[in-house]
Structure 1
Amino acid sequence: MAGLAESGANPDVSLLYDINGLAQDAPRWLDRTVAYVGEYGLLAAMVLLVVWCWWSVRAKGRRDVAASLAGLVWAPLAAGIAVLVNVPIRGFVQRPRPFRAHQGLDVLVSGKTDFSFVSDHATMTMAVGVGLFVVHRRIGLVGIGLAVAEGFCRVFMGVHYPTDVIGGFALGTAVTLLLSPLASALLTPVMRAVEQSERAGLLIRPGRRSPAEREALLREARTEPGGSEERDLAA
């Protein structure tokens, strides 16, 4: 991998120069903005997206909110696990940062001394985005879009090759989806136990429903297995 990085004929390197070249042509204020967004801003946006998804799932008040919120808890946990999985990958591949192997790059952040493959930022954001998509399709698509934006920013900033980003996307997606069944089996009982708690359960239990919302949930229950739970839905 390190050998490929040194080849100017490598499409990965060519794309790196094309994207990073946008930073060289951009005004300094835009470079500083992208650097901040790519380093911190999009990670913070993913946190806010998780909170938004929690509120949305809880407000809907479906029959098994605990199971949905277990999937939501899994999203950031998957991101953390994926980053840990990346530690031995980086040590095995040992790909240097692009600015160490190539001249003429506009590097927008300093202090990057670790290896390049794969990108932690791309891994984390895609893991959260895919985890959100499993729980809530529309919010998940926003999360995946932010992850793609994060990947673009990392190359624009001159700190990663495009394949570092693609590898991060693949790693984050794989960890989230492959471990999702196990995570659901472990986290769902925990969330149901929290739901039964008088105080902590307020984080899971929906607020009091309006008559229209109760009627809509009752109609949904009649068309799905488990319609005997209608009285719980109407509570």
Structure 2
Amino acid sequence: MTAALLAFDGSRIDGGLYTDVTDAAHRAPHWLDHAILLWSDYGLALFALLMLAAWWLGRRRGPAATAQALAVPLIVVLAYSVNSVLKSLVAEDRPCRSIPRAFTLETCPGAGDWSFPSNHTVISFAAAAALLLVHRRLGAVAVLAALAMGASRVWIGVHYPHDVLAGALLGVAVAIPLTLAARRAAPLVARGRRTALAPLLGTGTG
């Protein structure tokens, strides 16, 4: 009850746009809704695979590139942590709770499971921004996947559009400076390549 009383109602910001999207989901073919729901629930696994690929390819490159590739998962975790703090500070109720008549593809999260910003979107865009700096092609795939992830969170009814936009901005804002700063760890990677850590750090020089 206390959590519900303290919750911020984000429907006043873009509740109309949210219901437009969820109404479209209601009218969409079942196969499309099912595919989007699956992506929204399990699509983060793709980012894990892309980070793994970035590490594998980074082993063949110079120490700076390898350091950046190794930093990507840590940067994503940090972005998620920052977002979790922000969620608890803002305490915005889920749209499916503030607009109970809205159509949703997923069961509405309970009270206290705050909406702003979107965790899935923060993770996706932090990974995409970092990967884009590490490996352009992998990053391009990640950017498209992040856009799809953010849109899916509104489509299935668990986030407002502004939750997704804020999550994207936060993810990028955290990831870019930290990924650039990770290059400073290049000397550590270079030394580590001459130790038992060589299988992890690689031997690339270019």
TM class, shorter-length: 0.7 to 0.9
Query: Contact 1:90/1:117 (CA < 8 Å) preserved in 2?
Result: yes
Matches within 5 A, 1:89-168: 89-110=86-107, 112-113=109-110, 114-168=113-167
**Alignment-mate amino acid for residue 191 of structure 2:** A
- 2:73 aligned with 1:68: no
Secondary structure in 1 matching 2:93: coil
Matched, 1:177 2:163: no
- TM-score, with structure 2 as normaliser: 0.85
Equivalent AA in structure 2 for residue 163 of structure 1: H
State the one-letter code of the partner of 1:25.
Answer: R
Could you tell me which residue of structure 2 aligns to residue 2 of structure 1? 8
CA displacement at 1:206 relative to structure 2: 5.3
Please tell me whether Structure 1 or Structure 2 has the larger radius of gyration of its CA atoms. 1
Deviations 1:19-62 (A, max 9, x none): 2222211233432321121111x21111111222233344xx44
- Say whether the 8 Å CA contact 2:8–2:93 is kept in structure 1: yes
Partner of 1:215: none
Structure 2: where are the runs of 5+ without partners?
1-6
Q: Distance in 1 between matches of 2:90 and 2:116?
A: 7
Give the C-alpha shift of residue 92 in structure 1: 1.7
Structure 1 equivalent of residue 33 of structure 2:
31
Offset at 1:94? 1.0
Give yes or no for contact 2:33–2:105 (8 Å, CA) kept in 1: yes
RCO comparison, higher one (Cα < 8 Å, 6+): 2
Question: Normalized against structure 1, the TM-score is what?
Answer: 0.75
Residue type of the alignment partner of 2:173: A
Distance in 1 (CA, whole Å) between partners of 2:105 and 2:66 is 38
Q: What value does the CA root-mean-square deviation take over the aligned residues? A: 2.3
Q: 5+ unaligned residues in a row in structure 1: which ranges?
A: 208-231
Provide Cα deviations, 1:53-95, integer angstroms capped at 9, x if missing partner: 233344xx44x2x211211122221111111111221122111
Alpha-carbon distance, 1:145 to partner: 1.1
User: What CA deviation, in whole Å up to 9, does each residue of 1:198-223 have, x standing for no partner?
Assistant: 4x31344358xxxxxxxxxxxxxxxx
CA–CA distance in 2 between the matches of 1:178 and 1:119?
21
Which SS does the other structure have where 1:143 is aligned? helix
